[in-house]
Amino acid sequence: MANFSLPRGGDTPHMIRGVQKDYKRLYYSEQMAALRVPVSLQAGYGVIEQGTVMALNKSAAGNIGKLVPYNPTTFAGGASENHPGRAYLVAQASASAYDVYVSMDDSYKFAVGDDLVINGSGDSAENLGAITAIDRTTYTHMAKITFTTALSGTFTIAELSYVCVEAGDNTNNYSDAVGILEITRDTGLGQYAKGAGGLLILGNCVLYEGVLTNLDSAAKTDLSAASFGQYLYIR
């Protein structure tokens, strides 16, 4: 007779199922006719979905030249707000301060040398200059980012205040759209974030607008794009 024992609780075979992701069709027009370029995606933004509007890091140093998710000009609020380019504040940032606090994972969206921007609902975006230090050792649940230029205003959690890298000029909250990510890529989260390569759609295509993430009117202007029914035409 075979000798066997029941597996312990921690060894019980099992499967963890995550949220199902359905395949999405991005192109209405011929994919191979689109103008696309290979790009480097900045580390720390997790999984960036196909069809996400992207911006270019325009810092003077740090991760200059890498792609980051574009930040829309609006604040949706609540669970519906899906803006991966933002690192939301976990503590109020007061005028004259030279530092802000974000979650530990979000701190890995930045590197020393990146130019930092802060914004909030009802506030005006401010360029805070280059990041001089990122402290991830003092606290276990949050990191302190220190920058060059003192805050002029006060930015609160209730205002959905966030920081992001400089990826545009002050006419559009320092975030200008430069293209659409063609394929979903994982840039990593937290201390294990490594970034990723990807393909950026620049134009000469018609896309299904409903599968695009963070496409607002300002982004359409940046991309020389226009809506036509359920489609987006990028010239």
Helices (H), 134-231: 217-223
Which is nearest to 214 in space by CA: 58, 41, 69?
A: 69
Helices (H), 94-225: 104-107, 217-223
CA angle, residues 191, 196, 200, in degrees to nearest 5: 140
- CA end-to-end span of the chain, whole Å? 74
What pLDDT, on the 0 to 100 scale, is given for residue 12? 63
HSE-up (13 A, CA, CB side) for residue 222: 27
d(CA 24, CA 141): 36
What pLDDT, on the 0 to 100 scale, is given for residue 27? 98
Q: What is the pLDDT along the chain (235 residues), one digit of tens a residue?
A: 555 555 555 566 656 566 556 668 999 999 999 999 999 999 999 999 999 999 999 999 999 999 999 999 888 777 777 899 999 999 999 999 999 999 999 999 999 999 999 999 988 999 999 999 999 999 999 999 999 999 999 999 999 999 999 999 998 999 999 999 999 999 999 999 999 999 999 999 999 999 999 999 999 999 999 999 999 999 9
Domain boundaries, given as residue ranges, for the chain: 31-71+84-234
Which tokens sit at 10?
């921690």
